[in-house]
Structure 1
């Protein structure tokens, strides 16, 4: 089989500083090669180099070649690269919110690539766009054509990115964390879709991911990177069964861990929700009165004690994040919310402000939630300026401690978010929430952008902070292995409604709802066998 992509002794430098050293790998037609390694290891930079998407005012290639079907892309003129991008080689980017144009609809963004590379007319492009949206599992695709990116959930934005990448049936697909924002059932659907298209079209795939279970099931070859160096490469089964390098063994052993110990039975109730619902107006009448509603969350009842974690799971668009937004009053809600026994649902923003120190949130998209104009020190310390102005002399020490807690070098606090990798930005977001020492943290997919080893470190960090300070967490995630490692209770949502709620071990081991069983089956589909203490009841 011919090598469609052949990377030979590639070195990459930014402003003269080398970040990738002598990288070599091949991607044959019809095969999948995975680049794996921790955040900052050079995976994404190497992938972006294939399409020459790095800023060439600063990025240089001191050595090496990138051969696409025998043609050296590093020597290709810009006009030739424009012909290749999106047609022969497509890319699924890691952060869909920053890759999609906020001013254009879904239909326009996908249709644009069809018009440029295939010359399709608007009606042809529309039909093909609908077909692609159906392929990647977008609900109500005809209605979603007119949506803008901000109207889609994180998982839906990622699926739109995948549809754009597949639009022209490329010869090579570069997939940079293609399923990071997807729930487990859609993740499985998308990966199976990519594999079926690969078999049908003979497409080569370069997969960049931190999820080693996906690598094991879908990749033919694996290249392991650390600090810009290639430490190991070979067939997938060989790497997984008999890794030679100590770093590879470390990656493979980084499991999120077992279920946490139960909190004290004497712990007081910190948070309770009684009949909480959230709805958004779909259509308004002549005088602005809503005529139709979208019920994003319906009739939720939960109780969370001090030192306890409630895991909230469900597919993309099920209402998980909306429920968290209702708690911190970023969206209006119905029903009753009690915090330390006192109702907070009727408080206005001014009345709620003192509680923001106690109830913090880590958002799903760290790039979008961190100001690009503020240094890390300013980002982490912003809450201290608002909620602890009388302790200004201690602010610097508190910022340093928060960064150390999440595994970041405090010396980097004067840098800006764009200078960090995706995983590092997520840790900055966690540090911003931790610095105020809250009682309750809403964690919205806080580990989705992290590689396995850092993910394990963050889970252990969250556990230790919970034990030390009696913190409570609302943990929103589609990664059921991580939910299992952190949660004492689990709430399962589907279409905004509660499907199952109860003790985490009971829900994970003996789920009562068919939907929960489907989630668990999809979550452990990639493993040779499910963990001993989990079964879906459908085996």
Structure 2
């Protein structure tokens, strides 16, 4: 198979510091090559260098070539030539569609712009082609969505618009940088199957950048493993997965979050009890401000969480997972019965609930967004102590130090700021902030979604050890069923605000009764054993 892109001995430096060292790989026409490795390994930087998208005031290329079809070195191409190549011969799907799409422009304008630049299409022609592209990538009712702005689309729809833009000019190479990060498992599978079908239809090559090895195994022909800017292993995907030669590759492959967790004793105290919980939001109001129509986000949910137990809450975006979690910690208004350690809390106002709030803490999805960049780690972790334990100020520093030790962080770093820590370390800080108040329940809202698999495993093992040490109960909200499987004793599956399935994790994940649950498991690259009927990881 002919090489469309040939990278030879490529080194990349920022302000003189080498971040990619003599990297070589080949992307063949019509094939998929995956670049894998942990955050900071140089995957995305290498891909961006193909299109010369790095800031060349600071970035330089001390060695190497990026050869297009064997003869044209893109590192030596003039800016005008690169503008011809970008979006025409080589396109890119960026990692975060919300920040990559212009919030001030409609879907039609953003896709039409690339058609006008590269093909000189008039507005009527561009509109017709845009409709074809939106239909191609599976956007429902595409004519209606031409005038939509990015914020009016779901995460999966935004990613499909990005794919439509990238494919508008039928490129010969598509670079897909983490194209499914933070998407629901069903949407992930739809996006990846779409890319595979379009690849077959258009005959294009794909350079796939991801930290999700299950995706690599299913969709990539070849794989390059990167560590700290260097290629440590490469070859056909199945060969690398079956017989890895390097310790780093073996570590990545062994970074599965873990197996099903044994449920604690059934006679443990009931910490949280829900009976027919509902959450509704007003959609439209009358002239006098009275609600006319409602969104029923959570419908009649009943469950029990015992001490030392983890309830995994799964479902697609919009299923009501996070809304239910927010209702449990009294951050959204709900109806129905909610009891904490036998005490009814659904009727309490915020002032009445405040003494109990330190017992129910939360760790949010994005650790960087939920940590104030203006506060030191000591201030962040100790903020709850100032609110809930103001009369014990002389003990605060010792409690902060202990919380940081509990999550495996050096207490000497407590005067540093969030930007000085990695993603996994920031998530540990967020856990320490919740832990310092010695709560009974911690709500974990997608706490590992943006982390590498190896870091995910570290965080899961940390949460397990903290649960065993302190008897914590977790409400674990996630769309990652592999992580849910590793941590949960019970599982609640939600769809359209309703409980589709609820029970012991072993029962729900190994022998699901509901068709919707089986679809979620299949989309998450699980399969059902034909002989035993048990659902296993692929």
Aligning the two structures, in what range does the TM-score lie when normalised by the shorter sequence?
A: 0.7 to 0.9
Q: Is the 8 A contact 2:381 2:436 kept in 1?
A: yes
Relative to 1, partners in 2 of residues 1:496 and 1:82: Cα closer, same or farther, differing over 3 Å?
farther
1:45 matched residue in structure 2: 45
Secondary structure (helix, strand or coil) at the match of 2:287 reads coil
Measure, in 1, the Cα distance between the counterparts of 2:126 and 2:375.
Answer: 41
1:244 matched residue in structure 2: 245
1:305 and 2:291 correspond: no
2:76 matched residue in structure 1: 75
1:519 and 2:520 correspond: yes
1:438 matched residue in structure 2: 439
Secondary structure (helix, strand or coil) at the match of 2:62 reads strand
Secondary structure (helix, strand or coil) at the match of 1:49 reads helix
1:465 matched residue in structure 2: 466
Measure, in 2, the Cα distance between the counterparts of 1:190 and 1:382.
Answer: 41
Measure, in 2, the Cα distance between the counterparts of 1:279 and 1:515.
Answer: 23
Secondary structure (helix, strand or coil) at the match of 1:63 reads coil
Please report the TM-score for the alignment, with normalisation by the length of structure 2.
Answer: 0.87
Secondary structure (helix, strand or coil) at the match of 1:265 reads coil
How far apart are residue 259 of structure 1 and its match?
1.2
2:534 matched residue in structure 1: 535
Relative to 1, partners in 2 of residues 1:328 and 1:197: Cα closer, same or farther, differing over 3 Å?
same
Measure, in 1, the Cα distance between the counterparts of 2:85 and 2:24.
Answer: 21
Q: Is the 8 A contact 1:39 1:421 kept in 2?
A: no
1:493 matched residue in structure 2: 494
Relative to 1, partners in 2 of residues 1:509 and 1:93: Cα closer, same or farther, differing over 3 Å?
same
Q: Is the 8 A contact 1:304 1:310 kept in 2?
A: yes
Most deviating of 81-90 and 41-50: 81-90
Measure, in 1, the Cα distance between the counterparts of 2:122 and 2:349.
Answer: 51
Instruction: Within 5 Å, give how 1:66-145 maps onto structure 2.
Output: 66-69=66-69, 70-104=71-105, 109-118=110-119
1:301-338 Cα deviation digits (max 9, x unpaired) = 12111111111111222121222222233333332322
Measure, in 2, the Cα distance between the counterparts of 1:404 and 1:314.
Answer: 34
How far apart are residue 148 of structure 1 and its match?
5.2
Which residues of structure 2 form unaligned runs of 5+?
none
How far apart are residue 488 of structure 1 and its match?
1.1
Secondary structure (helix, strand or coil) at the match of 2:63 reads strand
Relative to 1, partners in 2 of residues 1:333 and 1:153: Cα closer, same or farther, differing over 3 Å?
farther
1:204-233 Cα deviation digits (max 9, x unpaired) = 212122221211111111111122221111
1:35 and 2:35 correspond: yes
1:18 matched residue in structure 2: 18
1:289-310 Cα deviation digits (max 9, x unpaired) = 3322222221111211111111
1:459-504 Cα deviation digits (max 9, x unpaired) = 1111111111111111112222221111111111112211111111
Relative to 1, partners in 2 of residues 1:243 and 1:429: Cα closer, same or farther, differing over 3 Å?
same
Relative to 1, partners in 2 of residues 1:381 and 1:162: Cα closer, same or farther, differing over 3 Å?
farther
Measure, in 2, the Cα distance between the counterparts of 1:140 and 1:325.
Answer: 33
CA RMSD of aligned residues (A): 3.3
Measure, in 2, the Cα distance between the counterparts of 1:326 and 1:336.
Answer: 11
1:220 matched residue in structure 2: 221
Measure, in 1, the Cα distance between the counterparts of 2:310 and 2:302.
Answer: 15
How far apart are residue 248 of structure 1 and its match?
1.0
Relative to 1, partners in 2 of residues 1:296 and 1:102: Cα closer, same or farther, differing over 3 Å?
farther
1:204 matched residue in structure 2: 205
Q: Is the 8 A contact 2:529 2:535 kept in 1?
A: no
How far apart are residue 239 of structure 1 and its match?
0.6
1:62 matched residue in structure 2: 62
2:9 matched residue in structure 1: 9
1:16-71 Cα deviation digits (max 9, x unpaired) = 33222221112122111111122222222322333333344433333223334444
Measure, in 1, the Cα distance between the counterparts of 2:143 and 2:7.
Answer: 41
1:501-524 Cα deviation digits (max 9, x unpaired) = 111111122221111122222223
Relative to 1, partners in 2 of residues 1:25 and 1:415: Cα closer, same or farther, differing over 3 Å?
farther
Alignment size in residue pairs: 535
Measure, in 2, the Cα distance between the counterparts of 1:111 and 1:224.
Answer: 37
How far apart are residue 194 of structure 1 and its match?
0.6
Q: Which has the larger radius of gyration?
A: 2
Relative to 1, partners in 2 of residues 1:494 and 1:133: Cα closer, same or farther, differing over 3 Å?
farther
Instruction: Within 5 Å, give how 1:311-330 maps onto structure 2.
Output: 311-330=312-331
Relative to 1, partners in 2 of residues 1:513 and 1:48: Cα closer, same or farther, differing over 3 Å?
same
Q: Is the 8 A contact 2:424 2:459 kept in 1?
A: no
Measure, in 1, the Cα distance between the counterparts of 2:375 and 2:126.
Answer: 41
1:260 matched residue in structure 2: 261
Measure, in 1, the Cα distance between the counterparts of 2:121 and 2:346.
Answer: 51
Secondary structure (helix, strand or coil) at the match of 2:194 reads helix
How far apart are residue 146 of structure 1 and its match?
5.9
Secondary structure (helix, strand or coil) at the match of 2:347 reads coil
1:256-275 Cα deviation digits (max 9, x unpaired) = 22211211322211112222
Measure, in 2, the Cα distance between the counterparts of 1:327 and 1:253.
Answer: 35
